[in-house]
Amino acid sequence: MTIAIVAAMHEELSALLAQMPDEQRVRVAGRDFWVGHLRGQAVVVVLSRIGKVAAALTATVLLERFQVQAIVFTGVAGGLAPGVQVGDVVVATRLLQHDLDASPIFPKYEVPLTGHARFAADTEISDSLAAVAVGLLADPVALLGQKVVDDFALATPAVHRGLLISGDRFVSNAAESETLRRALPDALAVEMEGAAVAQVCHDYGVPFAAVRTISDRADDEAHGDFTRFVAVVASRYSLALVDAWLATLTPPT
Ligand code: SAH
């Protein structure tokens, strides 16, 4: 069983690669797919690049070329729902493309010919990721150090589960995030890749899960918040989450 770990950011990818004792690089479609082991588990680790098409292509190559049996996406996202704050973690239960609209031929948000707007994440993997996240966030100082916790006000981060929405836009003003909140009141957070990978995995019948750390609130401060968070905090969350989750899997016999 080989698991794909897909990261959206260089920083997250390099933190994971540093923990792989045996990675081999395979270059496909201009991307580096790193094949090896993490915590004794066979993995392919790759940078998706940003946006839905880039992420869908990466997922397809993982499934066709590397025959991975599950894909886990780790990255950052903008918080949308009230109470989804910077430093919190969102584990997706369902994923939707907020910029897809073939109405009136198909209902708004529905992916034509699939009958779905909301693609389900794998329950078992998501449950396990959420449990690991709760454990890690119980002690943010152990995870990030006192200075980072103080600088970013991350003393009491929370784990949320629910709808994650994706689109080809970095949502970085209050008006746009308010429009999304109105249109999709149950959306917890917004990012640019997850729902595309969920659609590809649905078509292939392969389990998929997404865990995102909130880097910003998708508002007028989003760009600055995002940049600082990615530079200092994001990779620590990603590495700790993926590492602790892989440690829960039964080691291959
Ligand atoms: N302006 C940024 C663009 C990065 S895109 C820059 O200077 O680098 C943001 C990445 O983080 C995407 O991969 C997306 O999935 C995620 N993300 C974080 N916050 C987001 C937001 N507010 N809106 C959309 N995507 C967001």
250 pLDDT above the threshold of 90: no
Ligand 1 center–CA 194 separation, angstroms: 12
4 contacts: CB under 8 Å, gap ≥ 6: 43, 44, 45, 46, 59, 62, 66, 68, 70, 71, 72
Pocket test for ligand 1, best of 47, 76, 97, 170 (most atoms within 8 A of CB): 170
Distance CA 230, CA 234 (A): 5
Distance CA 5, CA 34 (A): 10
252 pLDDT above the threshold of 60: no
pLDDT in tens, 162-213: 999 999 999 999 999 999 999 999 999 999 999 999 999 999 999 999 999 9
CA-nearest residue, atom 9 of ligand 1: 170
Q: Active-site residue 176, yes or no?
A: no
CA-nearest residue, atom 8 of ligand 1: 227
Q: What pLDDT score was predicted for residue 251?
A: 64
Q: How confident is the model at residue 9 (pLDDT cuts 50, 70, 90)?
A: confident
**What atom in ligand 1 is closest to the CA of residue 192?**
15
Helix residue ranges, H only, the chain: 10-17, 52-64, 123-137, 140-144, 146-151, 174-183, 194-204, 222-229, 235-248
Instruction: Report the share of the chain in percent with pLDDT over 70.
Output: 99
CA-nearest residue, atom 3 of ligand 1: 170
Q: Which domains does the chain have, with CATH numbers?
A: 76-248 (3.40.50.1580)
253 pLDDT above the threshold of 80: no
pLDDT in tens, 39-75: 999 999 999 999 999 999 999 999 999 999 999 999 9
Ligand 1 center–CA 122 separation, angstroms: 24
Distance CA 74, CA 56 (A): 15
List 12, 122, 176, 225, catalytic entry: 12
Q: Active-site residue 127, yes or no?
A: no
Question: Does pTM surpass 0.85?
Answer: yes
Mean per-residue pLDDT of the chain: 95
